[in-house]
Structure 1
């Protein structure tokens, strides 16, 4: 019997190789030093599983070369180098190792915080490199008694909060996707008002990178901050607008910043490096011996499970096997995830429950539909940390009730799926179906009948059904150079209307505020699918 083959494309800790090499039924190839491109393609051509890190682009040529590939393990959190959609089309499972670097990232955050308040790197350089002893140059401040604002209170943010409490700091957490008690049970204040964070002495961010969090801290937010604020980013590049950050540091509005991640890396030419009130590190969040050891061990364990087909821990996608799921189900699964994602963007808040209802033959696959809905809904706040394997576990951990219901087909459609998302703020219910085997459509939003393709940039505008509203909306969008690609309107019997407006251009907060200020407006929201 031939051995299964695991190819390690990038350097991992030796502990991972020790684990892999113990298995007598597995052939392990260390290709970390094999040049990328054709030489590597030759090695992976009959691989069953590969382990990669960021240096290896898992792109179309890579996937085309790896004809036998069943799974990819990304040894780390980020999967920017992996074409997940391409993998899914080929039935290749993509896994990552999301938690092994948690403590390393937490401790690096604290190191940057301490370095900023004491200007430690600059004092060190003056003494060691310039041999100058000037204590008076380095009058620092203390963490004790300072107010720390934490944006994002997940695995890393919460642990930063615990350590900050040990420094006798006052800690306040902002994360609209967690129950308040997750913070308050730790003696940490919880807020839903982002301006409370902007009033803090020190601010650190620990969110995924997505459309909601890119440039989350920009000129407008910095202007509201205290003079002399300290900012920390050991999460993802681009969460702070780097131009705004540079201006704030140069003007002195921001006293110091500690930055481990940059919009473009390697960041050897980044203008932040010019400033003398910033501490920088070259993306060292996972760079500890312990973290690298854990990443290698977990990656090896996942590769072994995947190569044997026993399980796929931390799978970021789910291949659909032709022999298990009929072809007609595939577009419904995709639609289910899109509806969940849309619902979460429109109904922001702490999730209370997610209810999935199926009508028609598709009801036989309610469990799979529910998984895809939950992944879509949680992706909005959790990004790549949620997947098809852990979605319902993550929901349970967050006290989100998941309901799956199969109803008699009374909708008039051959098959229909509906998702009802309840948060602490509101309830939204979205229904959808498939026409002509693959054409996805949203046919209902909160009892408004519509016909909307779930794709692109969408403005949802609810209003009192009076003359002139569509014209007013069009004028505001035209004023901001936003082109309307499609306009779908639903009306009810109570004098209300809901418009779903598909646009070609990005919609700013200012545009949404102007729409919201229209007299007829009841609510307005923006989503991207």
Structure 2
């Protein structure tokens, strides 16, 4: 049994996911005082935390068996990542679950600022004054909105501003210009162009490059009466310079959800009438909290089982030197390797990694993940991201990497071909927008299915009645089908990839194998 400890409160849906797994022992310790919590972590394989649990020296001294930590949210300020790395603990976060919540809060701040909504509301409700003449605002239509950081959140803010008929300018040196253009925005390389916008909203991580990205120097270049929004991270705008700009009137309004020091109850920005604030509630929707919990639970289960480490922050790839999209392909590559190893369990002789499209530039970054994936089922905890290349070398496994500029089928495509004593197995996959990972082919069969959960791979001669026979047997044994994908080849053969909600017993597998058209049957878990 894998032991997953929940250290802080998460949505019940995440707890339900964990408790429903036959191979997971979930311990919910969110209500314990922190000193008692630390005494209960000794046997944990994975811990799920939020901001109220500090993962530092004291925490790490109590987790000798910990493989991974999942921060159920975006920020990892409370996690000592370097110390975790030294102890061999993988740190993950959940960066996209609150995307829509953060986008909509940003739009709330933009609309509140241009229409002076909080001030009008307070005057009427608190002061009981009906003075419509005090509250002439402006319209978003026709305004120039500058979006700094055009990733998951920034791009969606841009799309929504376009729906209000605003002109959107995007500044992000780490994206391809086509992403902005496809969203209807203008891509700008010169940061000063953003500074000339009517409204500026920032959506970057906080690091050495982005801290104090907007100071008095940048504010001086802005239009008089500019509106600034920050629902990303405190400290991206220099708070003293922001304060001075608001007092002088250079900045007309500011909408702020995040502060350099939180809680931000003593920040002097709160004293100004032209600042609208919220207490870091970008992720505070019921929907996002549910999604955060579900994604955190899924990541914890995959890490405990050693399948993959979604959104890992301290794995071998240098994230400072590669685009963010590559991280999804490292996860995909490891899952493809894990799939290969279950489809053919004989001795592995060689592994070829083929990357097509833009991801081909980073094929070297994928090698470790591919090796961990294919060797994990046989070595379990004995293999990790540090020793994987050495184990492959000791076993005489030849690794070959091929980079191709384009793919005929997808923008980016990863193919792993494993050659064993039994022959070879080839699996391919891609990542769609919004980080949707899919297996796209198994050998010569084209499928499109999520690599997650329990899968039956049923290969058969392509004759009528097979699907019905498979469904009848599974139904008879109360095994629910979550997804069913069918593919054919030119040899009059078919492959059904069936996602099921329950483990399939050896007796049921034998019954399925007894179908006259069956060529082969395999059960895999990813």
The partner residue of 2:93 within 96, 112, 133 is 96
Classify 1:282/1:71 alpha carbon distance in 2 versus 1 (closer, same or farther; 3 Å). Answer: same
Whether 2:321 is the aligned partner of 1:377: answer yes
The partner residue of 1:304 within 287, 301, 306 is 301
Classify 1:147/1:306 alpha carbon distance in 2 versus 1 (closer, same or farther; 3 Å). Answer: same
Secondary structure of 2:61 counterpart:
helix
Q: TM-score w.r.t. structure 1 length?
A: 0.62
Deviation at 1:185, TM superposition (A): 2.1
Whether 2:28 is the aligned partner of 1:68: answer no
Stretch deviating more after TM superposition (304-313 or 237-246): 304-313
Whether 2:157 is the aligned partner of 1:157: answer no
Query: For 1:100-158, what per-residue CA distance to the aligned partner results, in whole angstroms no more than 9, with x for missing partners?
Result: 01111111110000010111111111112222211111111110000000111111111
Secondary structure of 2:317 counterpart:
helix
For structure 2, which runs of at least 5 residues remain unmatched after alignment? 335-354, 366-526
- Check the 8 A contact 1:58/1:81 in 2, yes or no: yes
- Check the 8 A contact 2:309/2:331 in 1, yes or no: no
The partner residue of 2:259 within 244, 259, 262 is 262
Classify 1:234/1:382 alpha carbon distance in 2 versus 1 (closer, same or farther; 3 Å). Answer: farther
Task: Find the aligned partners of 1:396 and 1:90 in 2 and give their Cα distance.
Answer: 35
Equivalent position of 1:402 in the other structure: 362
- How many residue pairs get aligned? The number is 345
Secondary structure of 2:165 counterpart:
coil
Classify 1:201/1:396 alpha carbon distance in 2 versus 1 (closer, same or farther; 3 Å). Answer: farther
Classify 1:232/1:6 alpha carbon distance in 2 versus 1 (closer, same or farther; 3 Å). Answer: same
The partner residue of 1:199 within 196, 199, 218 is 196
Task: Find the aligned partners of 2:112 and 2:357 in 1 and give their Cα distance.
Answer: 35
Equivalent position of 2:119 in the other structure: 122
Equivalent position of 2:19 in the other structure: 21
Deviation at 1:186, TM superposition (A): 2.3
The partner residue of 2:247 within 211, 235, 250 is 250
Q: CA RMSD in A?
A: 2.3
For structure 1, which runs of at least 5 residues remain unmatched after alignment? 319-370, 406-529
- Check the 8 A contact 1:179/1:398 in 2, yes or no: no
The partner residue of 2:29 within 28, 31, 35 is 31
Secondary structure of 1:65 counterpart:
coil
Task: Find the aligned partners of 1:311 and 1:198 in 2 and give their Cα distance.
Answer: 41
Equivalent position of 2:337 in the other structure: none
Task: Find the aligned partners of 1:71 and 1:403 in 2 and give their Cα distance.
Answer: 25
Secondary structure of 1:200 counterpart:
coil
Query: For 1:165-213, what per-residue CA distance to the aligned partner results, in whole angstroms no more than 9, with x for missing partners?
Result: 0000011111112221111122211111111111100000111111111
Task: Find the aligned partners of 2:327 and 2:269 in 1 and give their Cα distance.
Answer: 33
Deviation at 1:388, TM superposition (A): 9.1
Deviation at 1:97, TM superposition (A): 0.8
The partner residue of 1:182 within 179, 182, 194 is 179
Q: State how 1:265-304 maps to structure 2 within 5 Å.
A: 265-304=262-301
Whether 2:143 is the aligned partner of 1:146: answer yes
- Check the 8 A contact 1:148/1:201 in 2, yes or no: yes
- Check the 8 A contact 2:43/2:66 in 1, yes or no: yes
